Amino acid sequence: MAAVARKSRETPELTPHEKRLRNTGRKLRDALERLVKGLPTHPDLQKRAYGLTIATLAREARVGRNAIYTNHRSMIDELRRARERKIIPDKLVAWEDKLIQQRALIQVLQLEERRMMTENAVLLKRILDAEAELERQKRHNARLIAERDRAAKPIPLPRGPKS
């Protein structure tokens, strides 16, 4: 019981407002990191070039701009610093990003090609095994038919002594 009381004194319970602020701050930091890396998750930002603006950050974090202005003013400074650090022209970054994406796609396709080649080899082996089994079954069937035909032939009975 004393351990529970001690723990509650060490980490006070957050109010819903504090939780919301913390979660929004985390969303904004993650979104800024994705935007700086050029890997936005928001569909509108993936389709076109974008600048590092508050509106873009809010869209990527999926929060309202007012939340940034009201409760997360430090994110405005971080956004400004990130924009200043980004000295590579957008067209060059877009070209390099496309090149990186194309290389990644090539690697994925090469892995897929190897997987398909392995699968084709397995299927070819199964075909060859099935054809060998078919030939074995044909020979076995031919032996059974020959045996049936021999069994169906009339056998002359030996004649007994004439009385």
Per residue of the chain (163 residues), give pLDDT as tens. 455 555 555 667 889 888 888 999 999 999 888 888 888 888 888 777 788 888 888 988 999 989 888 888 888 888 888 887 765 545 556 777 888 888 999 999 999 999 999 999 999 999 999 999 999 999 999 999 999 999 999 888 888 777 6
- Residue reference for tokens 């045996």: 147
Nearest to 31 by CA among 18, 22, 42, 43: 42
Supply the pTM of this predicted model: 0.47
Q: Residue 140, SS3?
A: helix
Q: For residue 155, give the amino acid letter.
A: I
Non-local CB neighbours of 28 within 8 Å, separated by 6+ positions: 57, 61, 63, 68, 72, 75
pLDDT score, position 91: 56
pLDDT score, position 76: 87
Token digits for 103?
């290389």
Longest dimension (CA), the chain: 129
Nearest to 49 by CA among 61, 35, 63: 35
What is d(CA 162, CA 147) in angstroms, rounded to the nearest whole number? 34
- Residue reference for tokens 């398909």: 116
Q: Residue 112, SS3?
A: helix
Nearest to 81 by CA among 36, 144, 133: 36
Cβ neighbours of 31 (radius 10 Å): 23
Q: What is the DSSP letter of 38?
A: T
Non-local CB neighbours of 14 within 8 Å, separated by 6+ positions: 22
